[in-house]
Amino acid sequence: MRRRSGIKPSTTAQDITWLGIILKTAVAAWRMPVDLNEFESAKLLLRSKGLITRPASRDRRPTLEEIEQLRAYFQRSQKIRPSAIIPMEDIMDFAIASSRRQEEITRLTWDDLDEVAMTCWVRDAKHPRQKWGNHKRFKLTHEAMAIIQRQPRAKSEPRIFPYAAKSIGTRFRAATAAKGIEDLRFHDLRHEATSRLFEAGYEIVEVQQFTLHESWDVLKRYTYLRPEKLQLR
């Protein structure tokens, strides 16, 4: 049924994962007679037939031309309705300069910012197993710090970027559609940010201080460097 509806095998795999969690809970918490071996055998069969797969790694990076197209679009929107529009140009540039996800950007607070050390805390950072309470401090680039410092600061608002993450995503999708930019997601800006750090000469252990990736192995897939950026020694 999921396959006929057009859902990708990677999405179906997530369904199976959640079913597994439910079944394991049923055995442990409710003493229900579930044969987990049958479930694992079914997963093996589904995987062998290609009905469930791991999600493909994206290597999409915005081109400089695409970034300028989006910047022009956001600048024009800001001029039309300066008081009602999210400052998407700053948010896009901050995502590229900081490697933060859109939800993380909207959770950053002034109290968590250390302008001297050029660091900030991100609350409830994404983690494969820990959804809440995973607070981490990350390093800010000079560009990211400059973007933060020019944000208006209100006494009644603790957040640096006091906007809804979903609204940011909606505005970004509207911009890419208006400019005819295909297959570009807001999360790809994090990929761009991470790759730029590698191109600037930072090592994996240093890049991790900016991006907060949990695994170095995961971080390696962001090292798709542009040949023209490499400096000959």
Q: Are 27 and 38 in contact (CB under 8 A)?
A: no
The one-letter amino acid at 120: C
Q: What is the pLDDT of residues 88-126, one digit of tens each?
A: 999 999 999 999 999 999 999 999 999 999 999 998 766
Each residue's pLDDT tens digit in the chain (233 positions)? 888 888 888 889 989 999 999 999 999 999 999 999 999 999 999 999 999 988 777 778 999 999 999 999 999 988 877 666 799 999 999 999 999 999 999 999 999 999 999 999 998 766 545 555 578 999 999 999 999 999 999 889 999 999 999 999 999 999 999 999 999 999 999 999 999 998 888 988 899 999 998 877 777 766 655 556 555 54
Residue 83 Cα distances to 67, 102, 137, angstroms: 23, 21, 32
The per-residue pLDDT for range 147-165, each reduced to its tens digit, is: 999 999 988 999 999 999 9
Residue with tokens 């930019």: 181
Beta-carbon count within 10 A of 210 CB: 21
Sheet holding 113-114, edge to edge: 113-114, 119-122, 136-139
Tokens describing residue 65:
């031309």
In sequence order, the β-bridge partners of residue 139 are: 119
